[in-house]
């Protein structure tokens, strides 16, 4: 079920932009336990396929993690093949990290197109022109906390926000997109 109460993800095409809801992503939080960061960093590549990313970065492939704070990450993967993402992380990293299922607590929107920078400049204080692929920033849009991930410099970004704020965020995105020249 999507945040819009539908079975199909919503896709809005407005001018030079597409705004796509992404209910097809599994999400889990990962936080190193006290004095266990070094062992977590050593064990994570076997599970994630990559090292845990540093400050303000995302890393990975099918399973990827992005930095959310000191010794904290959110891990995302395709829901169809990783519905049990949190359980797999707990099984493999649970001794070194606290892990919680987050898929139903967050919502992602992928924003793509030539007007992406213009849209984001009107909505948040992040310097999106300076962001390169793999950069992650915590920002606010219309007083809602978001994680902004650069997928393709100047052209494609993923926004994560609390599921309870998703409709308001979507409204802000589509309203501003419709007002762009």
Q: pLDDT, tens digit, for every residue of 78-125?
A: 999 999 999 999 999 999 999 999 999 999 999 999 999 999 999 999
The 3-state DSSP class for residue 35 equals coil
Q: pLDDT value at position 160?
A: 99
The residue among 88, 93, 99 whose CA lies nearest residue 43 is 93
Q: Sorting pLDDT into bands at 50, 70 and 90, what band is 172?
A: very high
User: In this structure, are residues 150 and 131 in contact, taking their beta carbons and an 8 Å threshold?
Assistant: yes
What residues does CATH 3.30.1360.120 cover in the chain?
11-23+106-179
Q: pLDDT value at position 56?
A: 98
Class of domain 11-23+106-179: alpha beta
Q: pLDDT value at position 161?
A: 99
Q: Sorting pLDDT into bands at 50, 70 and 90, what band is 34?
A: very high
Compute the average pLDDT of residues 150-164: 99
Token duo for residue 72 = 């904290």
The 3-state DSSP class for residue 130 equals helix
pTM: 0.96
Residues 6 or more apart whose Cβ sits within 8 Å of residue 16: 113, 114, 115, 180
What residues does CATH 3.30.70.1520 cover in the chain?
25-101
For the chain, percent of residues with pLDDT exceeding 90: 99
Q: pLDDT, tens digit, for every residue of 126-154?
A: 999 999 999 999 999 999 999 999 999 99
25-101 is classed in which CATH architecture?
2-Layer Sandwich (3.30)
- Computed over every residue of the chain, the mean pLDDT equals 98
Q: pLDDT, tens digit, for every residue of 19-32?
A: 999 999 999 999 99
Compute the average pLDDT of residues 156-165: 98
Q: Sorting pLDDT into bands at 50, 70 and 90, what band is 4?
A: very high
């Amino acid at each position: 079920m999507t945040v819009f109460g539908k079975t199909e993800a919503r896709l809005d095409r407005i001018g030079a932009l597409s705004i796509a809801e992404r209910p097809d992503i599994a999400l889990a939080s990962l936080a190193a336990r006290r004095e266990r960061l070094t062992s977590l960093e050593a064990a994570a590549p076997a599970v994630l396929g990559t090292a845990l990313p540093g400050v303000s970065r995302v890393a990975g492939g099918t399973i990827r993690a992005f930095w959310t704070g000191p010794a904290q990450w959110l891990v995302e993967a395709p829901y169809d093949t990783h519905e049990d993402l949190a359980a797999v992380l707990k099984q493999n990293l649970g001794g070194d990290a606290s892990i919680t299922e987050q898929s139903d607590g967050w919502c992602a929107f992928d924003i793509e197109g030539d007007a992406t920078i213009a849209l984001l400049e009107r909505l948040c204080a992040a310097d999106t022109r300076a962001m390169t692929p793999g950069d992650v920033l915590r920002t606010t849009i219309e007083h809602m906390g978001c994680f902004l991930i650069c997928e393709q410099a100047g052209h494609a970004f993923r926004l994560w926000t609390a599921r309870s704020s998703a409709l308001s965020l979507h409204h802000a995105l589509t309203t501003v997109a419709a007002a762009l020249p």
